[in-house]
Amino acid sequence: MTSLYEIDLQTIDGQAEKVGAFAGKVMLVVNVASRCGFTPQYAGLEALYRQYRERGLVVLGFPCDQFGHQEPGDAAEIKNFCDLQYDVTFPLFAKTQVNGEGAHPLYRALKSEARGLLGTQAIKWNFTKFLVDRQGKAVRRYAPTDKPADLAKDIEPLLD
């Protein structure tokens, strides 16, 4: 398997980037949506980012429209929503598929490294979170119901 760092990404602004741009950082990778019951978690994700970014945490948001058509907007609409409603400053990426044939390579890798309940790989809903250590290894997967603030206990040891 190739390193996570070699995987290509596209920012929400359409710029090409690699996961490697975040090498050496602790990453929290989240599939996000603007019309989901969990959408208020944007505030908690932003709070985590602001609290720990100087110590090496980066939150990476991947808008996804695979669950109940809860991210119908285009890139400009998504970015505008995140700016106006939650003052999001962490990196956002192009709309991404997380399951199925069109699943992004990053999500394929994360799902195989950090499986869900009962060993499942499929992502069940928006705001599933993956914690990746500074070496690029997915160390934990969190359910959409896991609140961002509750992840701090797992993030902090990875920052030391």
**Residues with catalytic roles:** 36
What's at 37, amino acid-wise? G
Q: Token match 């970015």: residue? A: 79
Q: Can you tell me whether residue 147 is helix, strand or coil?
A: coil
CB proximity list for 44: less than 8 A, separation 6 or greater: 147, 148, 149
Token reading at 54: 């100087």
Cα dihedral 62, 107, 140, 6 in deg (nearest 10): -100
